[in-house]
Structure 1
Amino acid sequence: MSQHVPFGETDVVDLAVIGAGINGLAIARDAAARGLRVVVVDRADVGSGTSSTSSRLIHGGLKYLERYDFTLVHESIRERHLLFRTAPHLIRDYPMLIPFYEGNTRPGALIRLGLLAFDTMALGRGRGLSRGVPVRTVARRWPTLSREGLRGAALFHDAQVPWAERLCVELLLDARRLGARVLTYTSVTGLIVESDRVAGLHTEDVRSGERGEIRAAVTVNAAGPWIDRILDGQIESRRLNGGTKGSHVVLDPFPGAPDTCIFFEAAADGRPIFVFPWQGRYMLGSTDLTYEGDLDEVVAGDAEIDYLLAETNRIFPQANLTPADVLWSVAGIRPLPYTAGVSDNAKISRGHTVLNHAPAYRGLLTVIGGKLTTHRALAEDVTDEVLRVLGKRPRPCVTRTRPFPGADTSDWPEFVRDFLRESPLDGASSRRLLQLYGVRARRVLDLAAEDPSLAEVVDKETGALAAEVVMAVCEEGAVTLADVMLRRILVGLNGDMGLSSAATCADVAVRHLGWDEGRARAEVAAYENELRRHRPRALAAAAGGGAGAGMDNDGRRP
């Protein structure tokens, strides 16, 4: 069942948030922590849109220096530092090698100068100083990297969040713990507009069709790339979203694959590209294309995949990658501000703004922009504005120091040592639980101890347990099998995107969560259908087609 709750006309909350992506969830958490009554609605699952299609980096904003966006760099460095302290189980240090090649649009000397400026700005909050790497050292340490035209390199320290989906889940958990209500599978059918005021939302439960309304003193439109769709036909507004399409591909280790992230300039268009080591595999990304298509049908196209493979083959001559090597792909729309006449999408600001629609539409705010790294800062800014609109005195923000639920311990390193020593699982399985759940990993083991059948391994590749399926639904807000697989236990992000374990996980739901056999079959079918936008090789093989079967050559469903 979804968590739809009807609201009567007399039940007015302080804040209604549209969108349960990372920004909407962060706003709910911050606002609830400051004593506001908050409701969040989303027509799908938490983090199921743009938040799950990023490059999975918590980066200090090195790229923004070339646009002289020092404010965003400073904010990104600060937020990265805070996440290392408040979510140490989800964030990890991530070194990157930046090679300099003859003919690059960004000369090595310029990059070194930028790194020096970055290190200076990050003083006391960095992950280690950048350092130059001469050609001979590159040849010895990264021998498979192309040396044709190589002029040197630099080693830079940033951060990665391997499981961005879990970042969203933990924001959900903390927002709820603070009193916010998060209603997934609840669509917004319209704004409640009363003269010059927006007084809340008309809603419909996606699964039952039940209609309701949420009356709120302030409504925040945090729907990411969908912000214009929320406003269309409801209020008069200029175009606000100008998001660009970013695509990535995932591969098994390939000949010459590096053990360090390589951040290099594409020969085709000068765009920075990453080759990311990620959970025993590799992610290549990303593209940055103007997109005017259907926001609900965003799929990596053949040309994008060819571009990423060709640039990787150029930088790693032994790779010889072809589309057949792609396990799956992911594409999403960055929630960027609409910028007319821009010739280079990289020049569009990656910062965020909070638009107050008053005086024409009092009580309505729209969030434009934002990115994974700075979600907390965005939420602080939005809540500050909400308090001003409500006419309330400023209240201190606590999220700069508040730990995420998975890091709610006085000594994280000590917890890790104790957990690994006491866990009945093997080392790899225990470390996986820690990386996904932090201190809540003990809850998984407790469920398995209470019911030994929940100690069953449901996915051979990851070692995920049946207890995780139960916890995902009972404690983490999952509604569908896709929610469980792709955004909770994350076996849907393994080599075959969880196709080999989907039926097993659905059977756990039959035995422990009250699903019947008919629902289990329907959930597996719906899960496979949702995977099609990722063009998984395993699904294409099962269908008897080639890579990306079921898509046309632009990556769209026919």
Structure 2
Amino acid sequence: MTGAADKFDAIIVGGGINGAGIARDAALRGLNVLLLEAADFGSGTSSWSSRLIHGGLRYLEYGEIPLVYESLHERRYLRRIASHLVRPLKLIIPLYRGGKRAPWLVRLGMIAYDTLSMGKSLPRHRMLSKEQLLALVPSVNPQGLRGGASYYDAQITYAERLVIENIIAAAEAGADVRNYHQVSGIDFSTEGEHTVTFIGPDGASQRAHARCIVNAAGPWVDRVLAGTQAGQARLMGGTKGSHIITAAFEGAPNDAFYVEAASDGRPVFIIPWNDQYLIGTTDIRFAGDPRDASASVAEVDYLLATANAVFPRAKLTRADINYSYAGVRPLPYVEEGPESAITRRHIIHRHAGIAHGMLSIIGGKLTTYRNLAEQVVDSIERTLERASSRCVTASTALPGGGDRQSAEETLATLTGLPEPLRQRLLAVYGSRVARLVELCEGSPELLVGMDSGFLGAEVAMAVRDEFACTLVDILHRRLMLGLAADQGRAAAAGVAAIAATELGWDAAQTRQQLAGLTEYNQRLQPGVGKQD
């Protein structure tokens, strides 16, 4: 990069949900922004959550009322702008004798939750007697059961797609977005224009300049700052959260459950998800490289025991796990105290002195990324001494958030689509299925793949429009087939063949990509032999 092309209003480091949201908001307000992501967009913490868009009911216990209020209102916005990805989810809380939370306390929390989400379209909570709960879900363990509660939040089956759609929207609004570009250095200037050095996929070093730098690298925030004048104080103190994914088990509920682990009373979700069940999460301090985080034997057994205690007919074992995953929450550094007490609200750290104009993002939640982005872009505008502009991200639909009926009618023009594939395309892409239809009309050969559960046009769109570079990118974070029970194995060869044409891979490169997918999938297997 040389000349005027390397000068930006702001450079954003990190392409997870926070960085993607900031880039979208900034570009929509007319700012010239560069987004740099070291790996693939959304491949870090954003991919490894419990996949909920929720108010954080348990945060009420720690007095984080503003966070709950913010989250509940952001949930409403996300249901509006990404209705294809964010769907209502009913949750049930069973209450047992000896539990940490008495029925009266849960009822009080439910009332507060409803009150804080005034104006919501979801149903209000309902307290359940023991008999009512067992009538709803007969497989729940009746021993010691006192009753329960039901309430609604929302689920995002494919959190990765939320990141990608923000990235697409940012690029369409003029942002320069680049995955696989690793920041290698930051030089601050008292003259007001800082320099970011980064290395692209070809190994070449490049530089870009901006008055504002946003460090949205999640659990890597301190690593981005290391060696710079802004890197003296530790900001990040992440905790690891692990999940296991199982097939449906005997007595599996149709609704999500929010339960207390018998061993320590921690809250654990048991959620119907992607034709499987997602069980998690844990909360353990983690100081290593976040990309090395994995579910340990102890965590896996803890989650299995929790599910079996509530659904005794399940008799889940490690053999029933399709795969597992773990991510590191980018929480603020706290030297002592329980992990659960560390705030989940986001903190925008404004660096001073020579690093003035740099912001580091600490904490935050998938649910509240949009509001965080709005606050960050407001701060960028103040630093640039620009007139304050109006944020439109709460009312502007994401690329796939258009009219559902129109999307269905457009997709219906592709004859011969199996119904499961049709439903998956709508769930993953929403109104972006129109682009798939366009690609098929222009290149009929892209209609291949239906027998393996995908459409060839999906692969072409992932490469041409969605910045996918590898087979793992395509299967796990674009087509979402990597999150199926078989981790995309049935489709892998067919997808790789189309990707090879799109990306110019030769036979050896295609084999290398398939091997890389196998290695990636193996890393998501339960952590037998691994310890914390």
User: Which of the five TM-score ranges fits, normalised by the shorter chain?
Assistant: over 0.9
CA distance in 2, matches of 1:201, 1:195: 15
Label 1:493 to 1:10 Cα distance change in 2 as closer, same or farther (>3 A). Answer: closer
Q: 376, 379, 385: which one pairs with 1:391?
A: 385
Matched ranges for 1:240-259 at <5 A? 240-259=235-254
Give the TM-score normalised by the residue count of structure 2. Answer: 0.96
Q: In the alignment, what sits opposite 1:381? A: 375
Shift of residue 64, structure 1, vs aligned partner: 1.2
Report the more deviating stretch, 230-239 or 96-105.
230-239
CA distance in 2, matches of 1:77, 1:404: 19
Asked whether the equivalents of residues 196 and 361 of structure 1 are also in contact (C-alpha less than 8 Å), the reply is: no
Asked whether the equivalents of residues 166 and 436 of structure 1 are also in contact (C-alpha less than 8 Å), the reply is: yes
Matched ranges for 1:55-70 at <5 A? 55-70=50-65
Name the amino acid aligned to 1:222.
A
Cα deviations by residue, 1:451-494 (Å, 9 ceiling, x for unpaired): 2321112673xx21111111100111101111101100011111
Q: In the alignment, what sits opposite 1:503? A: 493
1:438 corresponds to 2:467: no
Q: 198, 207, 210: which one pairs with 1:203?
A: 198
CA distance in 2, matches of 1:313, 1:173: 42
1:262 corresponds to 2:257: yes
Name the amino acid aligned to 1:498.
G
Q: 478, 488, 502: which one pairs with 2:468?
A: 478
Shift of residue 552, structure 1, vs aligned partner: 3.1
Q: 507, 510, 522: which one pairs with 1:520?
A: 510
Label 1:277 to 1:383 Cα distance change in 2 as closer, same or farther (>3 A). Answer: same
1:359 corresponds to 2:336: no
CA distance in 1, matches of 2:396, 2:88: 21
SS at match of 1:445: helix
Name the amino acid aligned to 1:553.
K
Q: In the alignment, what sits opposite 1:418? A: 409
CA distance in 2, matches of 1:327, 1:222: 32
Asked whether the equivalents of residues 46 and 366 of structure 2 are also in contact (C-alpha less than 8 Å), the reply is: yes
CA distance in 2, matches of 1:60, 1:467: 37
Asked whether the equivalents of residues 166 and 488 of structure 1 are also in contact (C-alpha less than 8 Å), the reply is: yes
1:453 corresponds to 2:445: yes
CA distance in 1, matches of 2:119, 2:234: 41
Report the more deviating stretch, 315-324 or 123-132.
123-132
CA distance in 2, matches of 1:223, 1:511: 33
Matched ranges for 1:294-373 at <5 A? 294-342=289-337, 344-373=338-367
Matched ranges for 1:11-410 at <5 A? 11-194=6-189, 199-205=194-200, 207-235=201-229, 236-342=231-337, 344-408=338-402
CA distance in 2, matches of 1:503, 1:423: 23
Asked whether the equivalents of residues 12 and 213 of structure 2 are also in contact (C-alpha less than 8 Å), the reply is: yes
Name structure 1 gaps, 5 residues minimum: 1-5, 536-546
Shift of residue 442, structure 1, vs aligned partner: 2.0
CA distance in 2, matches of 1:115, 1:405: 34
Shift of residue 238, structure 1, vs aligned partner: 1.1
Asked whether the equivalents of residues 119 and 126 of structure 1 are also in contact (C-alpha less than 8 Å), the reply is: no
Asked whether the equivalents of residues 23 and 375 of structure 1 are also in contact (C-alpha less than 8 Å), the reply is: yes
Shift of residue 531, structure 1, vs aligned partner: 2.3
- Runs of 4+ in structure 1 displaced over 6 angstroms? none
Asked whether the equivalents of residues 354 and 382 of structure 1 are also in contact (C-alpha less than 8 Å), the reply is: yes
Name the amino acid aligned to 2:25.
D
Q: Percent of aligned pairs with the same residue?
A: 42
Asked whether the equivalents of residues 277 and 283 of structure 1 are also in contact (C-alpha less than 8 Å), the reply is: yes
SS at match of 1:354: strand
Cα deviations by residue, 1:274-294 (Å, 9 ceiling, x for unpaired): 101002110100001111222
Asked whether the equivalents of residues 299 and 534 of structure 1 are also in contact (C-alpha less than 8 Å), the reply is: yes
1:428 corresponds to 2:386: no
CA distance in 2, matches of 1:407, 1:225: 29
Cα deviations by residue, 1:478-524 (Å, 9 ceiling, x for unpaired): 01111101100011111121133222211112344422112111111
Asked whether the equivalents of residues 29 and 174 of structure 1 are also in contact (C-alpha less than 8 Å), the reply is: yes
Asked whether the equivalents of residues 51 and 165 of structure 1 are also in contact (C-alpha less than 8 Å), the reply is: yes
Q: How many residues align?
A: 530
CA distance in 2, matches of 1:110, 1:436: 38
SS at match of 1:201: strand
Label 1:489 to 1:331 Cα distance change in 2 as closer, same or farther (>3 A). Answer: same
Report the more deviating stretch, 8-17 or 43-52.
8-17
Give the TM-score normalised by the residue count of structure 1. Answer: 0.92
Label 1:283 to 1:59 Cα distance change in 2 as closer, same or farther (>3 A). Answer: same
Label 1:8 to 1:299 Cα distance change in 2 as closer, same or farther (>3 A). Answer: farther
Asked whether the equivalents of residues 420 and 427 of structure 1 are also in contact (C-alpha less than 8 Å), the reply is: no
Asked whether the equivalents of residues 58 and 373 of structure 1 are also in contact (C-alpha less than 8 Å), the reply is: yes
CA distance in 2, matches of 1:183, 1:416: 29
1:554 corresponds to 2:528: no
CA distance in 1, matches of 2:467, 2:5: 27
Name the amino acid aligned to 1:160.
Q
Label 1:518 to 1:54 Cα distance change in 2 as closer, same or farther (>3 A). Answer: same
Asked whether the equivalents of residues 418 and 450 of structure 2 are also in contact (C-alpha less than 8 Å), the reply is: no
Asked whether the equivalents of residues 421 and 450 of structure 2 are also in contact (C-alpha less than 8 Å), the reply is: no
CA distance in 1, matches of 2:499, 2:272: 33
Label 1:115 to 1:423 Cα distance change in 2 as closer, same or farther (>3 A). Answer: farther
Asked whether the equivalents of residues 100 and 151 of structure 1 are also in contact (C-alpha less than 8 Å), the reply is: yes
